A = this chain, B = another copy of it.
Amino acid sequence: MLRSFIEVWPDSHFPIQNLPYGVFRPKRGGEGRVGVAIGEYILDLSVIDDAGLLADTAAGGKGIFHQSSLNAFMALGKSTWTEVRRRLQQLLSADEPTLRDHVKLREAALLRQTDVQMLLPAQIGDYTDFYASKEHATNVGIMFRGKENALMPNWTHLPVGYHGRASSVVLSGTDVRRPKGQMKAPDEAIPHFGACRQLDFELEMGWFIGPGNPREEPISVKNAEDHIFGLVLVNDWSARDIQSWEYQPLGPFLAKNFATSISPWVVPLAALEPFRVAGPRQEPEPLPYLQTPDKAAFDIRLEVHLRGSRMEEPERIATSNFRHLYWSMSQQIAHHTVTGCNLRPGDLLASGTISGPEKESRGCMLELGWRGTEPIELGKGEKRAWLEDGDQVVMTGWCQGDGYRIGFGEVTGCVMPALD
């Protein structure tokens, strides 16, 4: 097994098999630049590139890693990503002296993750959110529309999605203010304005688009993965009481536009290749433009932890898996572009809440607490129907290899009280 000269614990999310990309600024000063995570360190690619060590790749020597977003690198496409990844794995490997034995270069290029501030990995042009988990769509449908209308007739024929808000995508660690808005409970005669009382998280995964497509040239489902740069964890914060009043007929708007949190490290699709699996059986068979090969899903374990302000430790409240998704990433991309809609490098697509078949695999409070009717029990008598002020939500995810993990780190956020 490939090993790095940098010590990496078996449960680390960032072994040499992963090498996720991120954008960071050293705390000691300096501009934003691109790095990869390795164990508890970051390899500063702007330093590596300046040292000429990426000169034999199509990305080297162009200032691409000196930028405070990954967009330019994302745009270069799969063959360049492959070259760079291979080169970085070589440079970091235990047998390779170039970096290992060059003390000055090593000191300049390797920073502790605790010594940097992570930044948003990309300038997101458009953010699209799907609704690709059948279990989630079914559960929500039952609660909002009753059992008869739970899954709309279109749901098994196409990956339902909608445009989200790009401006309010924030980095993990950003506090999230409880939004105010207009809502109307079923027993109220008229709507009122106030702080959201049904604040929720949504456990999702997102993927960044690498090369986009020109307008009017759809991406075929067979080539769709070539357009995926890498994946992150996504918490699509939701205000359920605002949502249930506003969402008809044009979909969620204010209920979702106040914040969407993402994890800082973008895990390359190549790192997930060993964890490719078949997704759920699709019945009815999708139309030809949505037919993907057998194995279009990935086995990524996902967890949600919650820590209330009076709790000493976070408690795990949900475990799910990316493989539960009914519609694959490829299908979502093919569907998104089939009308000729253009994607651009740095666009973010997200899966929608990823719920699984079990009760504990439900990916949001709405489902876990069944719209407030079955609050979940935490330690020491704490209960939650919805998120409370001071609650910290931590999502994490990883692929379990033999003696190593391909991890996504965390996406975290703490709920702040509504403004007066």
**A interface list, Cβ under 8 A from B:** 125-126, 131, 141, 144-145, 152-154, 157-158, 160-168, 170, 177, 179-182, 184, 190-193, 196, 212, 215-216, 218, 239, 242, 245-255, 257-259, 284, 287-289, 335-336, 338-344, 347, 419
Contacts and interface: CB of A to CB of B under 8 A. Distances in A.
Contacts of A162: 162-163, 250-251, 253
A166 B125 contact: yes
Given A152-B248, A167-B344, A248-B152, A254 B335 contact: yes
B254 A252 contact: no
A247 B245 CA distance: 17
A191 B154 contact: yes
A181 B344 CA distance: 20
A167 B217 CA distance: 14
A213 to B, nearest CB: 10
Given A182-B287, A193-B289, A254-B339, 14 more contacts: A131-B250, A152-B249, A154-B191, A157-B182, A158-B246, A160-B253, A161-B250, A161-B253, A162-B250, A167-B215, A167-B347, A191-B287, A193-B288, A257-B341
A181 B154 CA distance: 13
Q: How many copies does the complex hold?
A: 2
A167 B126 contact: yes
Contact of A341 (B126, B160, B167, B196): B167
Given A191-B154, A216-B419, A167 B257 contact: no
B340 A167 contact: no
Contact of A284 (B190, B193, B342): B190
Ranked nearest first, the 6 interchain pairs of A and B with the lowest CB-CB distance are: A251-B251, A179-B339, A163-B163, A257-B341, A250-B251, A162-B250
Contacts of A344: 167
Contacts of A257: 163, 336, 339, 341
Among A152, A190, A338, A419, max chain B CB count under 10 A is at A338
A338 B167 contact: no
24 contacts: A131-B250, A152-B249, A154-B246, A154-B248, A157-B190, A160-B246, A160-B249, A161-B253, A162-B162, A162-B163, A163-B165, A167-B344, A168-B340, A168-B341, A177-B340, A179-B339, A191-B287, A215-B259, A216-B419, A247-B249, A247-B251, A254-B341, A255-B339, A259-B340
Contacts of A255: 339
A165 B126 contact: yes
B251 A168 contact: no
Given A182-B157, A250-B251, A258 B340 contact: yes
Contacts of A289: 182, 193
B342 A167 contact: yes
Contacts of A419: 216
Contacts of A184: 153-154, 157
Nearest to A161: B253
B215 A170 contact: yes
A351 to B, nearest CB: 13
Contacts of A168: 215, 340-342
A196 B339 CA distance: 9
A177 B216 contact: yes
A184 B154 CA distance: 9
Nearest to A418: B340
A154 B251 CA distance: 12
B247 A166 contact: no
A326 to B, nearest CB: 15
A65 to B, nearest CB: 24
Nearest to A284: B190
Given A177-B340, A340-B179, A251 B249 contact: yes
